[in-house]
Every structure is written in C-alpha cells, then in structure tokens.
Amino acid sequence: MIGRLNHVAIAVPDLEAAADQYRTALGANVGAPQDEPDHGVTVIFIELPNTKIELLYPLGEDSPINGFLEKNPSGGIHHVCYEVEDIIAARDHLKETGARVLGSGEPKIGAHGKPVLFLHPKDFNGCLVELEQV
C-alpha cells in the first residue's frame, strides 16, 4: 500500500539556523519558508536526490510543534511521510487493521498541495506517520 518515502520531518527550534546549516554545511538545495496555517507550522523543504527533509517550526501558540519542542528543546525527528496512491482507500484499510487516524479522519491539504493524513504514533512503534496522496 505505501509507496516511496516522501520526506522525513525534523522539528527545529530555529528555522533559519537549521536551513542555513543544511545549505552551508551540507550543500543542500534549501527551499523558502512556507507557512501552513491549517497545520500550525512553517516548513522549509530540503531537496535530496531520493527524498526530502522537511524542517518544521511552530506557527503560532497553538502549534502542535510547540509541545514537541518543549520535550525536545534541541529539536528532533517529528514524523515520516509515505506516499499512497489513494488516501481514502489507505485510511479505510488502516482503520480496519486497528490503526488510529488522527484528527477528524478526513484528509487535509498538506504543504505539497496534496491530501494528507496522520496516524497515531502508538500504532507505529512510536513514530508519527504521515500519508500523502500522490
């Protein structure tokens, strides 16, 4: 059901410093900051030959990233995102297997302009999983 790894998301306490580190130290192709109000984050994508890194920074006081950074002040891996061809079929299959879909269970539009869902980390070995329809 899952396809390729779309990205690994890293929550960071300083978005510009993290972007500069990837740009300068690693020579990566770093995108521009992008506010995602529906998800409470500002993101920057780092383009790699085989996938992407998504830097996450809180957008507002209600951002879910605030709690993560309180527990992990230096930042850290927040989630992994896998591609799926049909997000509704994937959601329905996962629910049948006992996996919990976060939020309302209905896809939201993600940072790439495509439907996304998040799966409860307790159902996936402590890892928050994002699914993105391609």
Question: Domain map of the chain by residue range?
Answer: 5-133
Q: Which of 54, 83, 130, 132 is catalytic?
A: 130
Interval 22-28 mean pLDDT? 97
Strands 76-84 and 128-133: parallel
Query: Catalytic: 130?
Result: yes
Kindly state the percentage of the chain with pLDDT values over 90: 99
pLDDT digits (tens, 9 = 90+) for 49-92: 999 999 999 999 999 999 999 999 999 999 999 999 999 999 99
Res 30: pLDDT: 98
Write down the pLDDT at residue 82. Answer: 98
Superfamily of domain 5-133: 2,3-Dihydroxybiphenyl 1,2-Dioxygenase, domain 1 (3.10.180.10)
Mean pLDDT across the chain:
97
List Cβ neighbours of 27 (8 Å cut-off, separation of 6 or more). Answer: none
This prediction has a pTM of 0.94
- 80 within 8 A of 131, measured Cβ to Cβ: no
- Check residue 101 and report its DSSP letter: B
Q: DSSP 3-state assignment of 92?
A: helix
State mean pLDDT over 93-118: 96
